[in-house]
Amino acid sequence: MANSFGHILTLTSFGESHGPSVGAVLDGLPAGILIDEQQIQKELDRRKPGQSTISSPRKEEDKFEIISGVFEGKSTGAPICILIPNTNQKSSDYEHLKTIYRPGHADFVYDKKYGIRDYRGGGRSSARITAAWVAAGAIAKTYLTQTFNLKIQSIVSSIYNIEMDSPFSYPDWENAENNIVRCPDVNIAAQMIMAVEQAKTEGDSLGGIISTRVLNCPVGFGEPLFDKLNAELAKAMFSINAVKGVEFGLGFKSSKLKGSENNDSPDKNSNHDGGITGGISNGKHIEFNIAFKPVSSISIEQQVLNTSNEIETLSIKGRHDSCILPRAVPITEAMTALVIADHALLNLKYVGNMT
């Protein structure tokens, strides 16, 4: 079930970038949940290409269709299938990549593993398939908001060498949606935009960090031993292409501290653990960072292997993002929402005990 994710609330993903549609089946949502189609579209619009000067100039409308599981505007308890047609594929863009193993992409490993590869735009490994995750995640978000008043927010806290000092202390995360890099600090955002435009001019790409927080998560979500909430979130995050690191609370910084420094004090605002202790939400904000490597597709010339195991020079000419992070913000939120909603449902047997 390698293309399914979750225990009670499960997402099954299907589709390739150059087939007729990408899609997902969301199973296990309780019946009677309002399905807000405008909200779904709004999330898809946050992810779609061509939304700003720094994202890929591809134009995908990313209109979705719900095939099943909704009756008179509400979930029925049956699986919800969402289809998002692919409308702007240019397969010819990829013809020259048929015999090339692009660095950082799945080309080589897919060929070796499967012995067959849809080389058009990454095929199954394309980030395009995350569009359906975002649609499903929008439904999970609605469920969490309706049920717990729970809120999930992701921001871009770092691009290349430009970073917010202490993103989780920054007061107004809402600002993030007001600029094209989705960083709430206006000054940092301006520097980030310049850096991305510079990289675009150079034909290069930039990585960065997305910070996520979950507000109003009840105490008790997360299943020890192996389905700890942080473990499940980490797995979800590494499902996103280009993610190379995940850390909760102080994360790697805590490895440089003493216990007396790192232990959270009884103060409500002390949150070095990032809202999860022993794998279970502790009632504070859940806080984590994920690191993205820079987009692998660059137009700067690079040495690459081809399918005959020879070295070639490649300059990738497709319509690629120079920095994927702003578009990855809604994907991060969607996967977070799916994990949290799944654990909300797993936790029902303890709901009487939860504060």
What is the x/- site pattern for its own copies, positions 143-182, by CB under 8 A? Answer: ---------------x-xx---------------------
For its own copies, the binding residues in 115-134 under the rule CB under 8 A are 115-118, 123-125, 129
| Residue 85: CB minimum distance to its own copies, A | 10
Q: Which of these, 65, 44, 30, lies nearest to 144 by C-alpha position?
A: 30
Interface mask (CB under 8 A) for its own copies, residues 310-329, using x and -? Answer: -x------------------
Q: Which of residues 251-290 bind its own copies (CB under 8 A)?
A: 251-252, 254-266, 272-274, 277-283
- Provide the edge-to-edge strand list for the sheet that holds 302-306: 100-101, 302-306, 311-314
Q: At what angle do helices 325-346 and 130-148 cross, to 10 degrees?
A: 50
Give the footprint of its own copies on residues 215-244 (CB under 8 A).
Answer: 219-220, 222-228, 230-232, 234-239, 241, 244
Is 64 near its own copies (CB under 8 A)? no
Which region, left, alpha or beta, applies to residue 230 given φ > 0 means left and ψ of -120 to 50 means alpha?
alpha
Among 35, 40, 83, 164, binds its own copies (CB under 8 A): 83
Among positions 99, 177, 300, 317, the unique one binding its own copies when judged by CB under 8 A: 300
Cis peptide before 346 (omega within 30 of 0): no
> Are 68 and 78 in contact, with CB atoms under 8 Å apart?
yes
Least distance from C-beta 19 to its own copies, angstroms?
5
Site pattern 181..220 for its own copies (x: CB under 8 A): ------------------x----xxxxxx---------xx
Among 35, 40, 44, 81, binds its own copies (CB under 8 A): 81
- Give the separation between CA 144 and CA 149, rounded to whole angstroms: 6
Please pick, from the candidates 1, 171, 201, 308, the single residue that binds its own copies as defined by CB under 8 A: 1
**Of residues 54 and 280, the one with the C-beta less far from its own copies:** 280
Both structure tokens of 166: 């202490």
Other beta carbons within 10 Å of 98: 12
The C-alpha atoms of residue 275 and residue 245 are separated, in whole angstroms, by: 18
Closest CA to 144 of 343, 353, 352, 351: 343
